[in-house]
Amino acid sequence: MPTIVVTPPAPDLRMLFMDAMEADGIDYDRNKDGYWIYLRESQVVPWTLLISRFSLIIEDTDPPAFF
């Protein structure tokens, strides 16, 4: 399943956003360029709801990894 990069939601929503991902068991990292979401197949439905709830803007899907 994809890695998705989203623009951070409004500052007053970010804590709620992270709490919601934690509640849904969605793994993520907060990097300088946004939130990197590591989605599993079973999480597509809750993730879709989060996109709507927090008006998320998807910046990239499966970005190249640099090591």
Partner 1 sequence: MQGKDKIPSHIRYEMSAPVPGMQLENVVIHANDRDIHGTLKSAGNKKDIVLWAGSITRTPEQQRTSPIALAVSDKIATNGISSMLLSYSEYPAQGNDLSRCIQDTKYCVEFLVHIGYEKIIMVGHSFSGAVAIAAAQSLENVIGVITLASQTLGAQTVSHVSPRPLLIIHGLDDQTLGPHCGEQIYSWASQPKELVLIEGATHRLWDRKDILEPLLINWVIDQLQ
Site for partner 1, rule CB under 8 A: 8, 11-12, 14-15, 18, 28-32
- Whole-angstrom CA distances from 25 to 18, 19, 31, 44, 65 are 10, 10, 19, 12, 23
In the complex, minimum distance from the CB of residue 30 to partner 1, in angstroms, rounded to a whole number: 4
Least distance from partner 1 to the Cβ atom of residue 6, Å: 13
* Least spacing, CB of residue 16 vs partner 1, in Å: 10
Q: Name the percent of the chain in helix, strand, coil, to the closest 5.
A: 40, 25, 35
Closer CB to partner 1, 15 or 45, in the complex? 15
